[in-house]
Amino acid sequence: MGFRIGVLALQGAVSEHIDAFRLAFELMGSTGQSSVIPVRNADEIPDLDGLAIPGGESTTISRLIDKNRMRGPIEEFEGGIFATCAGMVLMATNVDDPRLTTLGLIDMNVMRNAFGRQKESFEADLKIRGFDSPYHAIFIRAPVATSCGTGTEELSRIEKGIVAVRKGKHYALAFHPELSVDTRLHVRFLEGLHE
């Protein structure tokens, strides 16, 4: 079964997400039937099975979503959303920054830049629910979720807070899986799209 995946191409690691999904297609044996595209127009969103929202600067991405009239199509999207770093901030119902209008698609409270500035970036081996071995994660000016509401499954936590969650087909990750050679999260997201 094939997948139609889009990567929101407003800011952030767009090409890295495209490459990671292509590798995941390969590992799943669905390369021939699957495609991944950069998404720059709102009318491209409804035809997708999944949409990735990459990291970047969350207030800037929020403004660009509005400028490009994408807020409604993303909020109404019936597929899965794979949100990383700033994407996690945008998916939250509550954020510690009043300047930011979130999408509110995952019931959680998120703290932006929870670890400080760029120089506070780090890597860590995470225990992720459902994985039998640690996942090596790269955190860059990362957020954390401080709490999750009903229907939001906590997948991974570190001392500072929750760094991976799932709600239905949606995933929100505080780190950058597109910068890792480990595609297990991409594969797990894709597998959930056709459940």
Tell me the catalytic residues: 85, 176, 178
CA dist 71 and 48 (Å) reads 15
> Is the distance from CB of 162 to CB of 156 less than 8 angstroms?
yes
Decide: helix, strand or coil at residue 123: strand
Q: CA 113, CA 141: separation in Å to the nearest integer?
A: 5
Backbone angles phi, psi at 93, to 5 degrees: -85, -30
Residues 33, 49 contacting (CB under 8 angstroms) = no
Tokens for 7?
A: 């990567």
177 neighbors 185 (Cβ within 8 angstroms): yes
3-state SS, residue 1:
coil
Residue 191, number of CB atoms within 10 A of its CB: 12
